[in-house]
Structure 1
Amino acid sequence: MNKVDYLRISLIDKCNFRCQYCMPNDAELSYILSQELLTKFELLTLLKEVFIPLGFTKFRLTGGEPLLRQDITEIVEEIANLPETKDLSLTTNAYLLSEKAESLFLAGLKRINISLDSLNPDTFDRIIGNTNKSRWQKTWQGILKAYEVGFNPLKLNVVIIPDINEHEILDLAELTINKNWHVRFIEFMPIGNNQLFSEKAWIPSSEIREKIKNKWGLEEANITGNGPADIFKIPHSKGTLGFISQMSECFCDRCNRMRLSADGWLRPCLLNETGQINLKQALRDGINTSEIREKVAQLLLIKPDINFKQRDAGTDMYDRTMSQIGG
């Protein structure tokens, strides 16, 4: 079991998109009230007095869409300036990134992951659930701005959905040839998508990899990151290709992370709610942070036994959509 030193922090559950795999249309959503979100002060208290003393040094800010959080730049700056922070990154849909990329970079954010499931505006709008004006162009502008500002690596996360965007696999992979971009293909997951999910609802990474290999060839990139992606590259390309195979290949033994939801729940596993702790409530109840730290330490001890190998046992464990957990 890897050392658990990586915390994914959801700052908000709201989003300006409604992607099928994150906020399915049939899901009943009730957004967290603003007063129920972890405040910046509460988050920093937990980092300084609970997580960092337990060895956490890598942090990723997520949502919902974290750029909707009004104090996002201040949060980035505060975490980046903690002397124990070894790595700080952010996941976004990039729709607001053209306006915020530079300020985030100057605040200390150096790595960014952007969700981009299609290069076709119509397909893109279908996936994000948009029925009004197209949002593809502004999203693309956000990606280009992030690249211009200097985010390195700039990662593009792609969820391949059968019969929707699977025909774009090669086009998306090609983005890595001439730019130092890192495209990561992620298998479609059944979180909050019980009606959509079936044996045909996801494409194994092995099939995606084979399609790319048949076009250009593929070689191992000999790069390791904070996550579970297997990294390859098209020969002589500037960027890399990552494959996250959480459905076809269980990688629980490599997991080094926990997740903190926007309303303060600490979750030891993406697909399993066993053992989760309401840290926000503990803070607001006046429980000493040393006691909270001890509870988290106990959860770390049993984390190896809490994993998503149990995902096949049924779907009752998926009480939240991805946006509510923190992607």
Structure 2
Amino acid sequence: MNQVDYLRISLIDRCNFRCQYCMPEGAELDYILQQQLLTDGELLTLLKEVFIPVGFTRFRLTGGEPLLRPRVVELVRAIASLPQTQDLSMTTNGFLLAGMAQDLYDAGLRRINISLDSLDPETFDKIIGNRSRSRWQQVWNGIQAAHRVGFDPLKLNVVLIPGVNDREILDLAALTLDREWHVRFIEFMPIGNAEMFGSSGWVPSEELRQQIRERWGLTEAQVRGNGPADVFKIPGAKGTLGFISQMSECFCDRCNRMRLSADGWLRPCLLNETGQIDLKSSLRAGISTTELCSSVRDLLAIKPEINFKQRYSGSAGTYTRTMSQIGG
């Protein structure tokens, strides 16, 4: 079991997209009220007095869409300035990024993951649930802005949905040929999308790798980061390719993370909430951070017993919470 020192922090559960794989059409979500969110002060207290003391030094800001969080740049600056912060990154859909990339970089953010599930604007809008003016170009502008500012590595997340965007595998992989980008193919997961997942299933990563091998060849590579991706490179390419294979190649034994939801619940696993802790309510009730440290250590102790495959067993094993409700 790896050392668990990586915390994914959901800043907000709301999003300006309704991606099929996260919030299926027609799904009704109970959003967290503003007063139920962890405040900036509470989050910083938990980082400084609970998470860092028990060994967390690497943090990723997620959502929902984290750029919707009020004063997000100031929060990034505060976390980046903590002496113990060894790595700070963010996952975003990129829609608001063009106008914020420089400020985020200046505040201390250095790594960023941007969702780009299609290079075709029509397919992209279908995936994100958009029926108005296309949003693809604004996301692409955000990616270009992040590249100009100097985020490194700049990672693009692609969730492959059978019959929707799986025909674009080679086009998306080709983005790495002349750009120092890292394109990550993520297997479609049964999270908050029971009907869709049951009808579509997922494309195993090895099938994707085989397509790329047949076109260009593929060699093992490395990229800086904290995630579970298996990293490869097209020979001669400037960038790299990652494959996150949680369905076909379970990597629970390599897991090094926990998730903190926007309303303060600490969860040990993406699909298993055994032992989860309500840190916000405890903090507001006056429970000491010393006691909270002890609770987090207890949760860390049982994490090795938690396994993704124990929660998922065929299409009937779909999970009802959305990704934004879990904590990124």
- TM bin, normalised by shorter chain, reads over 0.9
**Residues 230 and 135 (structure 1 numbering): CA distance in 2 closer, same or farther, change over 3 Å?**
same
Q: What's the CA shift for 1:22? A: 1.1
The gaps in structure 1 that reach 5 residues or longer are none
Give the Cα–Cα distance (whole angstroms) in 2 for the partners of residues 40 and 64 of structure 1.
17
Q: What's the CA shift for 1:312? A: 2.7
Q: How many residues align?
A: 327
Secondary structure of the 1:17 match is coil
Pairing 1:161–2:161 present:
yes
Q: Which deviates more, 231-240 or 22-31?
A: 22-31
Q: What's the CA shift for 1:231? A: 0.2
What is aligned with 2:326? Answer: 325
What is aligned with 1:228? Answer: 228
The gaps in structure 2 that reach 5 residues or longer are none
Q: Which deviates more, 246-255 or 308-317?
A: 308-317
Kept after mapping to 2: 8 A contact 1:192/1:322: yes
Give the Cα–Cα distance (whole angstroms) in 1 for the partners of residues 42 and 36 of structure 2.
11
Q: What's the CA shift for 1:109? A: 0.1
Q: What's the CA shift for 1:197? A: 1.5
What is aligned with 1:15? Answer: 15
**Residues 319 and 282 (structure 1 numbering): CA distance in 2 closer, same or farther, change over 3 Å?**
farther
What is aligned with 1:272? Answer: 272
Deviations 1:169-201 (A, max 9, x none): 000000001000000000000000111113742
Q: Give the 5 Å matches for 1:3-42.
A: 3-42=3-42
Pairing 1:173–2:173 present:
yes
Give the Cα–Cα distance (whole angstroms) in 2 for the partners of residues 254 and 203 of structure 1.
22
Secondary structure of the 1:113 match is strand
Q: What's the CA shift for 1:224? A: 5.9
| TM-score calculated relative to the size of structure 1 | 0.98
Secondary structure of the 1:195 match is helix
Deviations 1:35-63 (A, max 9, x none): 10110000000000100000100000000
Q: Which deviates more, 194-203 or 40-49?
A: 194-203
Give the Cα–Cα distance (whole angstroms) in 2 for the partners of residues 11 and 200 of structure 1.
30
Q: What's the CA shift for 1:311? A: 2.5
Give the Cα–Cα distance (whole angstroms) in 2 for the partners of residues 258 and 7 of structure 1.
5
Q: What's the CA shift for 1:306? A: 1.5
Give the Cα–Cα distance (whole angstroms) in 2 for the partners of residues 199 and 138 of structure 1.
31
| TM-score calculated relative to the size of structure 2 | 0.97
Q: What's the CA shift for 1:27? A: 2.4
What is aligned with 2:298? Answer: 298
Kept after mapping to 2: 8 A contact 1:90/1:112: yes
Amino acid at match of 1:46: L
Secondary structure of the 1:142 match is helix
Secondary structure of the 1:99 match is coil
Give the Cα–Cα distance (whole angstroms) in 1 for the partners of residues 222 and 106 of structure 2.
30
- The RMSD of aligned alpha carbons is 1.3
Q: What's the CA shift for 1:309? A: 2.0
Q: Give the 5 Å matches for 1:71-110.
A: 71-110=71-110
Amino acid at match of 1:70: P
Kept after mapping to 2: 8 A contact 1:271/1:317: no
